[in-house]
Copies of this chain bind each other. A is one copy, B any other.
């Protein structure tokens, strides 16, 4: 077993004990020396375990004393239950609040808890700028020419190489670039489905895909979803006869932040393949894990080419660049045709600059830092929510990603909370927009992409006070 693997394995184990509450805030951890003995590892490896856990805010070092479980591991609020949407597919119009919430996008006068994207303060702006310059120099005709339909070769190559991190084994020719992941999902739906088809999704799920599905004439079957382990497999099994397509966000989906265990992924891929149902896998949050290891993707279990793996850099590097891609398996020709029809090609300069950024290892450094910051943010945000929100509040425990899902007591309608909050220049995402059914009226999603500060704390306090009034 390699040293790298060992150190990951051990840190992972301790992190899990902290998350599960076996180790409590303030608990002393074993010393470096005893960790060596216990696992038969070197002092260096043992030290690395603690440094890693400290970097991820699981533990704090006290000089001359040792390591302790961080107090920022606040008393946790209870988890929301597994969702229980209706087992009937429907094609209701998405809630009109979606448009209102998204219209706030880019508004500098608001505190945007509603937009699931990292703030610019967390992004490598200067380095990206340099890559843009480089790309205008390198590209044929300065990037003004139409690029090949399949998209920038260098970008496809880099995404293929990085597929190893999630258990994939893609080749550059397996990939097609798109204008962000939502455009990739949109192309998949147009290529594979037709009006009247039924598509299964997690519930709650990303409002954008609900809108997309309905606008294309699909029916949506929302499936019970666990806040920790994601989609309930038994529910999917029962739904099989009713569905034509499946669209899942297995890793740190928004709004729940759940992460489907690998065995579930494997089972779901096999189940869907057996019934010849294509799986569109949206993996935009996969790189944002708080733990020690990148979770696998369903695509890594895809033997028959029926998983269409979609992702982008919008949640990790530059939302405004609109750079995404899809590995469509056996559906490549259909996807290319639809891409040609709806957009011809993507902006070369931006794709080339992202490819160069990925190539030089800058991305690895950036994403490591971003993960730590987001994990810290999560702990801070969750702590503040526990402090300021009324009794009876429940929250998700995301294992990665950009959001916390908050369930308030039943009598609170978060549409009203939205209206009150926006008057105080705070934008939140009310639960009702994450479903086509009448559920989640007492929930909100809070994004953790804004850097932690006293101002953010006081905004969360304001929000908590508004909630108490309701």
> Could you list which residues of chain A lie within 8 angstroms of chain B, going by C-beta atoms?
99, 102-103, 105-108, 115, 117, 120, 123, 125-126, 128-129, 132-133, 136-137, 140-149, 179-180, 182-183, 186, 190, 194-195, 208, 211-212, 215, 217, 317-322, 336-338, 340-350
Task: State the number of copies, please.
Answer: 2
Complex CA distance for A349 and B350, rounded to whole angstroms: 9
Set of chain B residues within 8 Å of A108, measured between Cβ atoms: 140
Q: A136-B129, A337-B99 are in contact. Are A146 and B344 (CB under 8 A)?
A: no
Q: A145-B120, A319-B144 are in contact. Are A217 and B195 (CB under 8 A)?
A: yes
**Are A146 and B115 within 8 A (Cβ)?**
yes
A346 CB to nearest chain B CB (Å): 6
**Are B149 and A343 within 8 A (Cβ)?**
no
Q: A343-B186, A348-B320 are in contact. Are A144 and B120 (CB under 8 A)?
A: yes
Set of chain B residues within 8 Å of A343, measured between Cβ atoms: 179-180, 182-183, 186, 322
Complex CA distance for A132 and B317, rounded to whole angstroms: 19
Partner of A125, one of B141, B146, B348: B141
Candidate in A120, A319, A337, A347 with the most chain B CB atoms within 10 angstroms: A347
Set of chain B residues within 8 Å of A194, measured between Cβ atoms: 217
A126 CB to nearest chain B CB (Å): 8
Question: Which B-chain residue is minimally distant from A181 (CB atoms)?
Answer: B344
**Are B319 and A145 within 8 A (Cβ)?**
yes
**Are B345 and A322 within 8 A (Cβ)?**
yes
Set of chain B residues within 8 Å of A123, measured between Cβ atoms: 141-142, 144
Complex CA distance for A142 and B124, rounded to whole angstroms: 10
Candidate in A212, A215, A345 with the most chain B CB atoms within 10 angstroms: A345
Complex CA distance for A338 and B94, rounded to whole angstroms: 13
**Are A145 and B320 within 8 A (Cβ)?**
yes
